[in-house]
Amino acid sequence: MTQPSTDLFKDKAQDWDSRPVPAQISAGVGAALRARVALSPELRVMDFGAGTGLVCAHVAPHVATVHAVDISAAMLAQLAAKPELQGKVVVHCQDILARPLDQQVDLIISAMAMHHVEDTDRMLRAFAAHLAPGGKVALADLDTEPGTFHPPDAVGVFHAGFDRARLGQQLAAAGFTAIEFATATQVDKDDRRYDIFLVTATKA
């Protein structure tokens, strides 16, 4: 995919951190990440679709550096303004599917961004290309849902969650092994409960 000409999160960025749903999801995903992924002071991490840095904040204190990648300048502006992330997080406002970073990382994390990417096979291949040998992914998103999580007229939403078996096959096809799914958290929105998975996998 190419980078959209408009920033689809421009109107949401200002109050993103005070919204209950992102706050609840990022707390659950952050806890699941710390429980299931070994973080260490030498790790170079990429947060794909980092947004305002809600999940970065859980990981950054425990690793060497986090490359916060997003195509929304407005979301990244919120992240860059956070004093606790200064010096630890490098911001990249670019579509890494079209223009990769010029460096590799040891771990790629992502929360609630994959459903905004139309071509997930291409995205997973891009993740593999950005990982050093033995590198890992830890990716969180909605399990398959009835299409009610976003408003019906939402732009830039390409997947009503993900089927774990299908995503596992896609990860394997992109060159990943040791693929493990867990339920990271659940979130209540508009009288419905949604499951959020965390899948971890290693670049073969």
Question: b or e along 14-53 (b: 16 or more beta carbons within 10 Å of the residue's beta carbon)?
Answer: eebbeeeebebbbebbbebbeeebebeeebbbbbbbbbbb
Among 43, 69, 174, 196, which residue sits at the site for ligand SAM (rule: CB under 6 A)?
A: 69
* Closest to ligand SAM by CB, 42 or 130: 130
Task: Give the integer Cα–Cα distance in Å for 192 and 129.
Answer: 37
Q: What's phi and psi for 68, nearest 5 deg?
A: -90, 110
* Closest to ligand SAM by CB, 15 or 134: 15
Task: Give the integer Cα–Cα distance in Å for 40 and 80.
Answer: 23
The SS3 call for residue 164 is helix
Q: Does 60 bind ligand SAM (CB under 6 A)?
A: no
Q: How far is the CB of 28 from ligand SAM (least distance, A)?
A: 10
Residue 139 is which amino acid?
A: L
Q: How far is the CB of 196 from ligand SAM (least distance, A)?
A: 10
Among 28, 30, 49, 161, which residue sits at the site for ligand SAM (rule: CB under 6 A)?
A: 49
Site for ligand SAM in 72-101 (CB under 6 A): 72, 75, 95
* Dihedral sign of CA atoms 189, 171, 159, 30 in order: positive
Q: What's phi and psi for 60, nearest 5 deg?
A: -50, -40
Here the tokens at position 124 are 């997973």
Site for ligand SAM in 130-189 (CB under 6 A): none
Radius of gyration of the chain (CA): 16
Q: Does 28 bind ligand SAM (CB under 6 A)?
A: no
Q: Report the residue number whose CB is nearest to ligand SAM.
A: 51
Q: How many residues bind ligand SAM (CB under 6 A)?
A: 20
Q: Does 30 bind ligand SAM (CB under 6 A)?
A: no
Applying CB under 6 A, which residues contact ligand SAM? 9, 22, 26, 48-51, 54-55, 69-72, 75, 95, 111-113, 116-117
